[in-house]
Structure formats: C-alpha cells, structure tokens
Structure 1
Amino acid sequence: MALGAHCDDIEIGAGGLLLQLAEAWPGARLHALVLCSTSEREAETTASLKSFSAGLDLELTVLDLPDGRLPAHWDAVKQAVEDTGVRAREAGDVRVVLTPCRGDLHQDHRLVAELAPTVFRRHLVLGYEIAKWDGDLGRPAVHLPVRPELAQRKAELLIEHYPSQHDHDWFDREAFLGLMRVRGIECHTRYAEAFYCDKITLGVSAPALHERGSS
C-alpha cells in the first residue's frame, strides 16, 4: 500500500523501493492512493506509477482534493484512506504501508502520515521523506540500499513523467540523487532511500533459536 498526498510524492519518497519490489515480487499487488490532483497531474501520476511498478499488479486511486488544503478536508481524507485500506485487505494481506513521515512540515503530507496508522494498525508503516524548502529532513532509522542503476532510473522516470514540475527548484535529477547519496553514506552504500518507522514487531521462531543456541 502506498499513500501520497500529491501526484509525485510516492515516487520521490519511495521510487527506489517500488522498482526493487517490482523486481523481487513480480505479480504482487500494489495499492496506491493519491489525494490531490488535476486532470493533467492525474495523467502524469498514472503513467509514472505504471512505470515504477512495471511487473506489479497496480490498483491506483487518484482523487481531486485541493492541494495544500487537506487538513480542511479531514473527513474526506480519512474516508479515502479507510476505503482504500478495506479494498486492499479484502484483496489480500497488506505487508507494507508507505506514507509520508510524521515529521514532514507540509500540512498535506503530515495529515496523511498521521492518519495512516489509524487505519493500518497491524502493519509495518514506513514514512518516506521528501526534500523541500522547509528543511525538515531528519535522522531516519530505516535504510534501503538502492543499486546505482535503479537510483538513476528513479531520477529518469521522475523527470520523464512529471513535466509539470520541471520549473520547481526542488524537482531535478541532482536533488533526487543527492539525497539518495547522503542516505547511502549512512548505510555504507552508494545510494539508498530512508524511512521513518514508529513501531516494528519482531518475531523469532523457536526452531531457529534451538538451531543456533542461546543468544
């Protein structure tokens, strides 16, 4: 499950993860919900997410709630997240939920991040990061190494599919690769994406303990 306030959020925050999931789990289902859109941007995000998830079974919902005003539409956002969550659970087990992180200073991102764990209460929820003017990048604890060719692919697909965003100073190849390079340094690799996680449940099987002895 991938949640985005805006049309490019999911790919900017977790595009490398999506590309790797498409390689590792071909045929797996990806449910994606984007809340703010226009007809132009809906076409962009549809093409983009299809490219990022090529090989996955993509189910995409795009709504037209107003950009920058999601807190004023709390009920609609909550209902959309709940409805998408119900459909995803009915279709099969949801293993991972991707969402903006709680510390994101953009009000739309932050609301989605706050609502996600109220719907997905027994799931691994990973909060992705998006670099922006606000300077709200922090110290995420979860890192995913991204192979150089996939990091380059992520940047290429974003530039290709979102021409409407090219005039923004935060939307360029250097910005995408630069943040991935910094996160790569933090986990001893070239490129990585990083995520925030409020809660992780660990499970250890008894046979594994018996085989390895006490620890």
Structure 2
Amino acid sequence: MIRLGAGSLDRLVAVGAHCDDLAIGAGGTLLTACRTHPGLRVDALVLSGGGGEREQEERAALAAFCPGADLRLTVLKLPDGRIPARWEEAKTAVEELRGRTEPDLVLAPRTEDAHQDHRCLAKLVPTAFRDHLVLGYEIVKWDGDLGRPTAYQPLSPETAEDKVRLLREHYPSQHRRPWYDREAFLGLARIRGIECHARYAEAFHVTKLALTLGD
C-alpha cells in the first residue's frame, strides 16, 4: 500500500452538515490525529442542530473525539434537509471559518454524497479552502451511496472500538435509527481496513492532491 504523509499537522478544520456527521465519517481519524498531535487546533463547523439537544450532544461528542485538542466548535441552526435552499448562509459560514484559520488539513463531506445537505457543503468547502488538502469522508446510510475511496486512515482496533463506543455514548437521539449500531460502524471500518491492508480504517475521497516529491 502506497503511503503519503500530510506533513506537519498543527491546525485542522472539520465541517459537517449535521450533528454526528463528523463523528460517523471521521471520528477515528480525529481520535488518531488528536492523540498523535497534542494541542492540535481543531476548528469545527456544523451547519444544523444548534440551540437544542443535538448541539449538546455534538459538543460533548467532539470534546471526546478530540482529546487534548484546542477545539473551537460552531453549531448553526440551518434547517435539516434544506441546506441547499439556505446556500447563502452556508457559504457565509464556511467563508467565515476560512477567515479564522489556516489549516493543514480539512475534513468535509464528499461531493458524491447522496444526501443533499452533505453534497451542498462538500461543494462549498473548496470554494473557500482552495489550496488545502481536503479529505471527503463517507457516511453509511440508507441511500447506499458508498463508492470507491482514494485515501485511507488506518485505525488501531482500540481506536475503532473507541469510535463506536463514543458514537453510542454521545448520540442517544440517534439510537432509534435501525442502522446506527456497532455492526454497521465496525463493519464498514473492517471493509475499508481490508482495502488498505489494515484491520480497520476510515476512507476518504480526494479530488485534488499536489505532491512534493522533489525540492
């Protein structure tokens, strides 16, 4: 398996359309990055769920998924399922986030995501973070839109288990969903691990990548 590092990692941006998107799509990667880089600054933006139970869940969850990090989280109140219709507000939020930080890595939804909110945010991110490495995470769901990823973050068995435990612990509002369980999360992680010669992994889609193999 060909391996490329991201270089120094001092600042990370993570964006999601809904509370729990980041934890589902990149929770293991956040745990790995924050444990490996103590004091990592994480600027996180979630477009919907603000002002209620979902925001409380998200704040507690991301604090757990970003141990030892300088976490700066914003949760907005855009309506779930209607983010494309609130494009101006979403774009402003992404641009304001860009104005606050110069990240080494951006975690965002992937542009092929079947959910309209995820897809809208995915298309907005590169308009603000134009010269950054953007990894598009995947979210297992009813739509059946999982594709062929181009990048992988291997996860230790302990990290994979921690991710599942934290998802179950911090998002009780989602327990009613039939797919929100240990088998679904570990099953996908196991499949992605097989694809990159690891036990478990999270997978990402990269649309543009500049190499620095020379001077």
Common fold by TM > 0.5: yes
What's the counterpart of residue 137 of structure 1?
146
Q: How does 1:61-140 map to 2 (within 5 A)?
A: 61-89=74-102, 94-140=103-149
The structure whose Rg is larger is 1
What's the counterpart of residue 177 of structure 1?
186
Task: Give the unaligned 5+ runs of structure 2.
Answer: 1-12
The amino acid of 1:85's aligned partner reads: R
**2: CA distance, partners of 1:2 / 1:22:** 13
Q: How many residues align?
A: 202
Q: Which runs of 4+ in 1 moved over 6 A?
A: none
- Residue 196 in structure 1 maps to residue 209 in structure 2: no
Task: Give the unaligned 5+ runs of structure 1.
Answer: 207-215
The amino acid of 1:166's aligned partner reads: H
Q: CA deviation at 1:196?
A: 0.1
The amino acid of 2:70's aligned partner reads: D
Q: CA deviation at 1:31?
A: 0.3
**2: CA distance, partners of 1:23 / 1:160:** 20
Secondary structure (helix, strand or coil) at the match of 2:43 reads strand
Q: 1:5 aligns with which of 11, 17, 29?
A: 17
- Residue 165 in structure 1 maps to residue 167 in structure 2: no
Q: CA deviation at 1:200?
A: 0.5
CA deviations 1:33-65 (Å, max 9, x no partner) are: 000104100000000000000111000000011
CA deviations 1:77-122 (Å, max 9, x no partner) are: 0000000111113xxxx10000000110000000010000000000
Q: CA deviation at 1:204?
A: 2.3
Secondary structure (helix, strand or coil) at the match of 1:54 reads coil
Q: CA deviation at 1:170?
A: 1.9
TM-score by length of 1: 0.92
**RMSD of the alignment, in Å?**
0.7
**2: CA distance, partners of 1:193 / 1:161:** 20
What's the counterpart of residue 46 of structure 2?
34
CA deviations 1:8-46 (Å, max 9, x no partner) are: 000100001100111111001000000010410000000
The amino acid of 1:149's aligned partner reads: E
**2: CA distance, partners of 1:170 / 1:53:** 25
